[in-house]
Amino acid sequence: MWEQASQLPQGIFIAYGTVTMNAAFNFTHQRILVTGASSGIGHQIALQLIASGAEVFALGRDAEALAKLGCNTVCVDIADSAALDKALHDLPPLHGLVNCAGISRLEPAAAISADAFDPVMQVNARAAAQVASRVAAKMIEAKVAGSIVNVSSQASLVALDDHLAYCASKAALDAITRVQCAEWGRFGIRVNSVNPTVTLTPMATRAWSDPAKRDPALAAIPLGRFAETVEVALPVLFLLSDAASMISGVSLPIDGGYTSR
């Protein structure tokens, strides 16, 4: 991993390209489901919630990776609608949800195929809506004024070459967020999305290691660097927390200013 630019806000430090941040949240006695918790951003969000006292339910396909979190685990393929419903049915009422599971299939716009387009929409939009639907129904029944955060992308806000399906799925997720906010606000349930830029998961680090690909992308970000997973996780925790008690229906770019251009 390359070391990023050193001009960071006070309280954020870099060591070998990894950002650590001073922030404190208290989710004691709160049950929170995190999808896509096997790796990447979802894994980091789960870790931060566990460290903040939450009872975390980590959902993903990799049982071994989930077990390493040391919390409740839900091993299921989120694309399998029936299996997902069964897994969600067994959960208790929750106080929070983070919809972080997502996939991408790259194709040029002139060569779109159902084999690539449909799975991306199925996971990134339909499954996210399904999870939130089942979680919110239990919140409403239990009279829990909960918080839901959908992890979208800057790809919902700008055009990215070869990302038609991904951009469409994330734009759909932002629209889903607004509808959920409008329908569930009367029950005290808040729904927001976050829209990260390239975030340095191990997979992304490898994918963006080529300077020919990396440098133009960095040049388009006013802060001049990509995001670390913790820089996405902590804003998610903020939106889950009581500190964001009057925030609902927003799509929050976490992109170093990329979408401001």
pLDDT bracket for residue 21 (50, 70, 90): low
Contact 92, 55 (CB under 8 A): no
Work out the average pLDDT over 148-156.
96
CA distance 255 to 241: 21
Residues 220, 115: contact at Cβ < 8 Å? no
In the block, residue with structure tokens 């996405």: 232
- Kindly state the percentage of the chain with pLDDT values over 70: 92
In-domain check, residue 72: yes
DSSP alpha helices (H): ranges in 90-210?
114-121, 128-142, 164-184, 202-207
Q: 3-state class of 194 per DSSP? A: strand
Residues tagged active-site: 166, 170
Domains in the chain, number: 1
Alpha-carbon span 59 to 127, nearest angstrom: 12
Whether residue 261 lies inside any domain: the answer is: no
pTM for the complete prediction?
0.91
Domain-embedded: residue 94:
yes
- Show the domain range for 93: 12-247
110: in domain? yes
Q: Give the number of residues written for the chain.
A: 261
The per-residue pLDDT of the chain, averaged, comes to 92
Looking up tokens 């997979």 gives 203
Residue 107 DSSP label: B
Q: Note whether 41 and 151 are within 8 A (CB).
A: yes
Q: How far apart are the first and last CA of the chain?
A: 27
pLDDT at 31 over 50: yes
The band of 8, judged by pLDDT with boundaries at 50, 70 and 90, is very low
Residue 177 DSSP SS3: helix
- 257 occurs within a structural domain: no
Report the sign of the C-alpha dihedral through residues 77, 78, 84, 90, in that order: positive
Q: Is residue 17 part of a domain?
A: yes
Identify any residues that bridge with 73 across adjacent strands, giving them in sequence order: 58
In a domain, 112, yes or no: yes
Q: Is residue 256 assigned to a domain?
A: no
What CATH number does residue 73 fall under? Answer: 3.40.50.720
If DSSP codes are grouped into helix, strand and coil, which group holds residue 45? helix
